[in-house]
Amino acid sequence: MQIRLDGKVAIVTGGSKGIGLGIARAFVEAGAQVMITSRKAEACAAAVAELGEGAHFEAGHVGREEDAERVVEATLERLGRIDVLVNNAATNPYAGPTIDVDRPRWDKTFETNLTAPMFWTQRVWRRFMKEHGGAVVNISSVGGLRTNPILGVYDVTKAAMIHLTKQLAAELAPRVRVNCLAPGLIRTDFARALWEGDKGNRVAASLPLRRLGEPEDIAAAALFLAADASSWVTGQTWAIEGGALVDFGRVT
């Protein structure tokens, strides 16, 4: 089955690299017009040059309401509609026991990973999707489904995103579908500290599918959830993690 997004317009936050760039590429190749956004204009411009026709950018900080408004309005002005929102941008400024986190880094993690997706969705809903329908794809993490000795704060925000997905799916139906992806360890710059060198080899060896994930693995699932092919799917979280959650508890 060929999955297409012809005539659709998508916004991808954090779309200049990693998982976001992989999703943007898949959407462009499927025929969509894609507005990518991230903090650095030069990174966005480089991504658009790489993706070619069908890719656009408007730089902005995902956690700033005025930037969210500017990106949404620029998308409507330049592309005429917003059919898909991918809430991908995330941050992880703290590693260590959750009980020891300081308030500034706790607040920053929640602002970017949970508050921003909520209010980007609200803005897109009010400006276009409430009347015309659409699809929202949230990028959570497999960490939102389990505990971790050093990534607990990040994982708490991702667990909350899973519930936010269910809540918004119930509230915005039937016009808008809201679904969530929970990636395992993906070979991106964002997660480099977790896979670089022999660390990645050890994790890969512990997985049933014996390899780490690539941005393309997440992009394929996001494409399905954004397209009409998944028109009877909403409120779901799909773990894309190489089998980590089923492998006899040998998760690294």
Give catalytic residue positions: 154
Give, as one character, the DSSP assignment of residue 213.
B
Contact 50, 42 (CB under 8 A): no
Cis peptide before 104 (omega within 30 of 0): no
Residue 193 neighbours by CB distance under 10 Å = 10
Q: Is the peptide bond before 174 cis (omega within 30 degrees of 0)?
A: yes
The residue whose two tokens read 């656009």 is: 56
The gap from C-alpha 13 to its chain's centroid, in whole angstroms, comes to: 7
Q: Integer distance in angstroms from the first to the last C-alpha of the chain?
A: 35
Give the Å distances, CA to CA, from 156 to 114, 127, 245, 249: 10, 30, 17, 20
* 33-37 and 55-57 beta bridge pairing: parallel
Query: Where do we find the tokens 């500034």?
Result: 104
In the structure encoding, which two tokens stand for residue 241, read together? Answer: 């993690």
How far CA 37 is from CA of 89, 128, 173, in Å, comes to 9, 18, 26
Identify the sign of the CA torsion 70, 39, 237, 101.
negative
